[in-house]
Amino acid sequence: MGHPTTNALPRYEFWASFPEIVAAWLFGSAVTGRRGPEPDLDFAILLEREPASGSARMNLVIQWQGRLVDELRTDRLDVVILNGAPLGLCHQALRYGRLLYCRDHAVRVDFETRTSSFYCDTEWLRELFGASLKRRLLERGAPVSRRTGTDG
């Protein structure tokens, strides 16, 4: 299978064929332009409700990945369900992602608003944790960069 391209992304009808999907975004390196030697496509999916179990969640991801592989003719892609995903991942997908599909604007806007609000409300915790981690790494003589707090 070939390298993925954003020129042939799935159309509205593709996403609409999955009634459980409220919204879908393309995010990651395909949107930011920082694509490495092995580029991939990252898709974030918002559901009306979170899957009932981990296995139900995995089954949905596998189903969508299979259909996306067939549609895009590449296996260099990842799918993540935003419902119940880590806050940082949700924030990155929503802030920097490109909205590809939306079935219910009210549900999408509510999710975006709650995610953004919670992310902003907890910024002080991330800063505190980052400063603490950086201090401990410096105490141990580990190389630390300014931007990330670690060597990387």
Supply the CATH number for residue 14's domain. Answer: 3.30.460.10
CA distances from 23 to 38, 54, 94 (A): 27, 20, 11
Phi, psi of 11 (to 5 degrees): -80, 170
Asked, for residue 139, whether it belongs to a domain, the answer is no
Asked, for residue 45, whether it belongs to a domain, the answer is yes
Asked, for residue 144, whether it belongs to a domain, the answer is no
Asked, for residue 64, whether it belongs to a domain, the answer is yes
Asked, for residue 152, whether it belongs to a domain, the answer is no
pLDDT of the residue at 151: 47
Asked, for residue 86, whether it belongs to a domain, the answer is yes
Asked, for residue 94, whether it belongs to a domain, the answer is yes
Domain coverage including residue 67:
6-121
Taking only the tens place, the pLDDT of each residue in 54-79 is 899 999 999 999 999 999 998 999 99
Is 44 exposed, middle or buried, given 0-12, 13-18 or 19+ CB atoms closer than 10 A?
buried
Task: Give the chain's domain count.
Answer: 1
Question: Roughly how many angstroms between the first and final C-alpha of the chain, as a whole number?
Answer: 31
Asked, for residue 75, whether it belongs to a domain, the answer is yes
Q: What is d(CA 80, CA 120) in angstroms, rounded to the nearest whole number?
A: 22
Taking only the tens place, the pLDDT of each residue in 86-103 is 999 999 999 999 999 999
